[in-house]
Amino acid sequence: MVKAAILGIGTVGGGTAEVLTKNRELIARRAGQEIELKYILCRKARPDHPFAHLIVHDIDTIVNDPEIGVVAECIGGATLAYEYDRRCLEAGKNVVTSNKELVAEKGLELTALARRKGVNFMFEASVGGGIPILRPICQCLAANEISSVCGILNGTTNYILTEMIQCGKSFAQALREAQQKGYAEADPTADVEGIDAGRKICILADLCFGKNVPPSSITTEGITNITPADIECARILGYKIKLLGRAMRTGPNSVSAFVAPHLISKSNPLANVDGVTNGISVKGDAVGEAMFFGPGAGAHPTASAVTGDMIDCVRDPSTRTYMGWWPSEPGYVTGPEKLSCKWMVRVVAPLSQIGAAFQGVRFIPAPNAEPDEYAFVTPYMPGEELTARTKGMDVRARYRVLDWGIY
C-alpha cells in the first residue's frame, strides 16, 4: 500500500479525491497496490466537506510523514505550489500536478530535481485536461522527430467562439454565458487573452522539441477583438476562427511558439472541435499527423489525468517516468512574424492604395462595411511583410489562414 496526499481541495483536488475513493479497487489492481488517501491540505477548516476527516492545514505534516509516497498538487499558481512541490520532491516523494502555470514556469527546475532525487514529477493534467497527450509525446511518439504541434488548448475561448459562430452572439454575450455556466472565471483575462493557452503550448513545445521554451519568450494574442464581421468573412471563405497555440521547428536549433486566432478550413478536424472540447495535432517524421481530442477541463476529466499519473508513480517503484527537457540557448525561440502564411485582412483604405500594396488579392464582401472598408486574402508572406505593406492603412483585423496539413 502507498499513502497519498492531495494539496488543495478545489475543483481538481476534490475531483481527484472522489476518483481515488470511488475507483479504489480498480486503481489498486492497475497500480499493483492500493493507493490510500491519507491527507488533503487545505488552509481553511471545512467541517462539512465529505473529506473533512482527512484535512490538514500544515504542509509540514505531509512533507515530514515518511508514509506519504505520492503527492497530487492541485493548488494553482506558481508561488506557493512551487514551494510545496519542491519540498515534497526534496523529501523523496513523487509529485503529480495539474498546474500548467507552475510547469511552464518551473518545469525545467522541478523535473531536474526529480531526476536527482530518483522520484517522479508528472503533469499530464497540465495540458488538455482529460486528454492523454503528454505521455504519448514522451513514450508513444518517442521515436519521432516532431516538427510541429498545434491545438485548441483552452475550453473557455473555444466555447465563446463556438457561440459567436453558431449562434451569432457578440463576444460580450458569449463571455457572460460562459461565466454563468462556470466555463469562465469572474476575471477571464488569462483565458481570453491567450495566456492560459500560451502556458500550455510552452509545455508542449518543451516536450516535443526537448529544450525550454519560457512563457516570457512567446507572443500571445487573445479573442477579445474578434467581431461578427470577421466571423462572417471567415464563413464566406469556408473557414472558422479558432484560437490556436502553435509551436514548430524553424531551424536546426530554433523553434517558434505563439498563440493567436486563426482562420482554419472547415475540412480541418480542428475546425469541428466545438464547445469546451480541446483538440491537439502533433506531426512527426515517422507517424505523420496524430490528433488528440477530448474534454479540456472539468473536475473529473482533469482528476482522471491526475490519478493516472499517481498510478504510474506507484505501479513499479523501481522505475521512474522521466518527463523533462533541457535548458535552451539565447535565440532558441524566434518570433512568429517571420513565418510565412496566407492572411485574411480587413482594412479601411482607398482601393487604389490596397491595389498598389497587394496585387491580385481575393476580395471578400465585408458585412456592414464602412466606406473604403475592404476584406481580402493575401498570398503567402511573413507577418512583418504584411505589416510593411499595410503601413498607412487602418487595419481592423488580420488573421493567419491555416489550411489542413500546414502547421
What residues are annotated to the active site?
A: 200
Half-sphere exposure of 379 (CA within 13 A, CB side): 7
End-to-end CA distance of the chain: 46
Q: Which residues pair with 4 in a beta bridge?
A: 37, 70
- CB contact at 8 A, 201 and 221: no
- CB contact at 8 A, 96 and 12: no
Q: Which residues pair with 394 in a beta bridge?
A: 348
> What whole-number distance in Å separates Cα of residue 264 and Cα of residue 268?
7
> What whole-number distance in Å separates Cα of residue 343 and Cα of residue 261?
11
C-alpha cell at 303: 482528476
Q: What is the largest CA-CA distance in the chain?
A: 76
Q: How many C-beta neighbours within 10 Å does residue 329 have?
A: 10
- CB contact at 8 A, 158 and 116: no
- CB contact at 8 A, 243 and 197: yes
Task: Cite the beta strand spans of 67-107 per DSSP E.
Answer: 68-73, 94-97
C-alpha cell at 213: 521554451
**Helix, strand, or coil (residue 66):** coil
Residues 6+ apart with CB under 8 A from 396: 227, 229, 346, 347, 348, 373
